[in-house]
Amino acid sequence: MCEEIKVTLTDCPKQKPDEDHLVFGHTFTDHMFEMDWDKENGWHDARIVPFAPITLSPACNCFHYGQETFEGMKAYRCEDGSIRLFRPEENFKRMNNSNDRLSMPQLDVDFCLKALKKLIEIDADWVPHKKDTSLYIRPFMIGTEPSLGAHTSNQYKFLIILSPVGAYYATGLSPVKIYVEHDYVRAVRGGTGFAKCGGNYAASMKAQDIAEAEGFSQVLWLDGVERKYVEEVGAMNVFFVIGGEVVTPALQGSILPGITRKSVIELLRSWGVKVTERRVAAEELVEAYKEGRFTEMFGSGTAAVISPVGLLRYGDTDMVLSDGKIGELSQKLYDALTGIQWGRAEDPFGWSVKVL
Ligand SMILES: *Cc1c(COP(=O)(O)O)cnc(C)c1O
C-alpha cells in the first residue's frame, strides 16, 4: 500500500458556483484523488491532481464488462467553522464489500480516509456555506485493463471527485410519490444488489424513466424471485410505520445496506422506538393501510437524508400516507440526523468525523 500522496495543485482555480443554484453533481472542485492498481505493484501512484478528464483505452474492462463500484458521502460545513464527515469509514468498508463481490481488489480503509481528508483540506473553500448545502463525495473504482478478454481486470483505477451540492429539496423537506414496480426487477439474491455498483443502476434506469414520465419520483422494487416482498427504492432504503411499529425490509443480499438506514435504526432504538427488520409483502402494506395501521413511509439515503413518501401506489390501490404531508417520525429523524451532520446537535454516537 502506498503511503505517500503526491500533490499537484492547479494553476488556474475555477470560479465557485452560486450557492443558491447548486445542481446535484454538475460542478466539480479544483482537484481529485487518483491511484492505480496492478498485480505486481498493488495500489501505487497515489496523487492529488487538478480535476480533469482521464485518458483510458477504449478496450478497458469497465466499458465492456462493467467492473465498477462507487460510494456516496458528504462533507458538511458546521456552525463552529469545522468541516466534518458522517461515518466515513463505513463507506470505505462497504466499498470493499462491493469490490469483493465484483472481484475487484480491496482498499486500505485508513489510507482512503487519509486521502479523502487531504483532498478536502486542499479544496476546503469548495465546501459550501449556505444552510443545508454540502460537499458531495464520490469515490469510485474502475477496471482499466485494456483487453476485451471477458475476465477479471488486472488493472484498476480508484478516484475521488467532489461536488458542491444544495439542499436536496429546494423548498424544504417534501413528500414524494412512489409506485411498486411489477415489470422490472433490480436485483436478486446471489446477484449484486448489496453492492454499490454502476451495473445495478444501469438495470434500473428504464423503470426509473417510466416512473418519472408518469409523474412519480421513484419506484419501489419488489424481490426478484417471488415479486412479492418490497426491497428498496431507487437510491434509498425504505421504512414503514405499521401499527406504531417501524418496519424495514431485512438485508438479505439484494438490498443495499445503507449507512443512513443503519443510523436510522440505531437512532430509533436509542429513542425506545421498536424497529423490526423483516420481509414486508406489498399485500401486507395494502391490508394494513385498509385497516388504518399503515400510517407513514419514508426513504433513507445520503443525498436526501430522509425522504417522506406522501403516496404509494400498488396495482390500482393508492395509499395516501401522513395525509400526503411530512410524517412526524420522518421530520424527527431528518432533524436528528441533519443536526448531527451539521454539528447543530450533540453526537452521542460519535458518528461525526472532523476533517478541519
Ligand atoms: C447508496 C444507496 C442507498 C443509500 O445508502 P446510504 O449509505 O444511506 O447513502 C440505498 N440504495 C441504493 C441502491 C444505493 O445505491
> Does residue 348 lie within any of the structural domains?
no
Please report the pLDDT score of residue 1 as a whole number.
54
Q: Which residue has the cell 480516509?
A: 113
C-alpha torsion sign, points 201, 203, 208, 213? positive
* Residue 176 backbone phi and psi in degrees, to 5: -115, 165
Q: Which amino acid is at 309?
A: V
Span 44-49, average pLDDT: 98
Q: What percent of the chain has pLDDT over 70?
A: 99
CA distance 295 to 293: 6
pLDDT tens for 126-169 read: 999 999 999 999 999 999 999 999 999 999 999 999 999 998 87
Q: Which of 117, 142, 165 is the last residue of a domain?
A: 165
Q: Do 333 and 184 belong together in one domain?
A: yes
Please report the pLDDT score of residue 169 as a whole number.
75
Contacts of 318 (CB under 8 A, 6+ apart): 311, 312
Instruction: From residue 32, give the alpha-carbon distance in Å to each of 36, 57, 116, 137, 201.
Output: 14, 20, 9, 10, 24
Residue 340 confidence (pLDDT) above 90: yes
CA distance 238 to 221: 10
For a substitution probing ligand 1, which of 194, 196, 221 has the most ligand atoms within 8 Å of its CB? Answer: 196
For a substitution probing ligand 1, which of 201, 302, 305, 337 has the most ligand atoms within 8 Å of its CB? Answer: 302
pLDDT tens for 69-98 read: 999 999 999 999 999 999 999 999 999 999
* Residue 129 backbone phi and psi in degrees, to 5: -100, -30
Q: Which residue has the cell 406489498?
A: 282
Q: Which of 140, 165, 190 is the last residue of a domain?
A: 165
With a threshold of 0.85, does the pTM exceed it? yes
Please report the pLDDT score of residue 89 as a whole number.
98
Q: Do 259 and 324 belong together in one domain?
A: yes
Q: Which residue has the cell 467553522?
A: 81
At residue 2 the predicted structure's pLDDT band, cuts being 50, 70 and 90, is low
The C-alpha cell at 176 is: 414524494
Domain count for the chain, please give it.
2
Q: Do 134 and 187 belong together in one domain?
A: no
At residue 106 the predicted structure's pLDDT band, cuts being 50, 70 and 90, is very high
Looking at the DSSP bridge assignments, the partners of residue 297 are: 240
Residue 348 confidence (pLDDT) above 80: yes
Q: Which residue lies with its CA nearest to atom 14 of ligand 1?
A: 235
At residue 263 the predicted structure's pLDDT band, cuts being 50, 70 and 90, is very high
Q: Which domain holds residue 237?
A: 176-341
Residue-wise burial string across 14-23, b where 16 or more C-beta atoms lie within 10 A, e elsewhere: eeebeeeebe
The C-alpha cell at 230 is: 418490497
The rounded Å distance from CA 301 to ligand 1 centre is 5
> Does residue 92 lie within any of the structural domains?
yes
Q: Do 97 and 144 belong together in one domain?
A: yes
Q: Do 334 and 252 belong together in one domain?
A: yes
> Does residue 171 lie within any of the structural domains?
no
pLDDT tens for 178-237 read: 999 999 999 999 999 999 999 999 999 999 999 999 999 999 999 999 999 999 998 999
